[in-house]
């Protein structure tokens, strides 16, 4: 699958997941275990990321999920 860029829509550190807005406008689920980073793996609202999108089973049926997530840039402030 091709890698794409997106922006973190929101992130919940206490739950370990959030959502990414894909370049095409689709919302993509992201779990901390798929973030490529050392130590505590987390994202912040507004972070620019690169990832692979896969269609995976979710609690309410198939959903887009991000894999191999890499932060390219940090948000300009705020946060969730």
DSSP state letters, 5-68: EEEEEEEETTTTEEEEEETTS-EEEEEGGGB--SSS----TT-EEEEEEEEEEEBTEEEEEEEE
Q: Is the pLDDT of residue 44 over 90?
A: yes
User: Strand pairing partners for 12?
Assistant: 17
Let me know if residue 75 belongs to a domain.
no
CB-based contact 69:34 (threshold 8 Å): yes
Domain with 26, as residue range(s), is: 3-53+62-70
Q: What is the tens place of the pLDDT at every residue in 17-32?
A: 999 999 999 999 999 9
Assign residue 17 the CATH number of its domain: 2.40.50.140
Percent of the chain at pLDDT > 70 equals 89
Segment 6-17, tens digit of pLDDT:
999 999 999 999
Q: How many domains does the chain have?
A: 1
């Amino acid at each position: 699958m091709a890698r794409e860029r997106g922006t973190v829509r929101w992130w919940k550190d206490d739950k370990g997941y959030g959502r990414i807005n894909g370049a095409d406008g689709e919302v993509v689920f992201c779990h901390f275990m798929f973030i490529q980073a050392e130590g505590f793996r987390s994202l912040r609202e507004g972070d620019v990321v690169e990832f692979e999108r896969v269609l995976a089973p979710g609690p309410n049926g198939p959903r887009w999920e991000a894999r191999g997530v890499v932060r390219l840039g940090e948000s300009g402030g705020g946060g969730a």
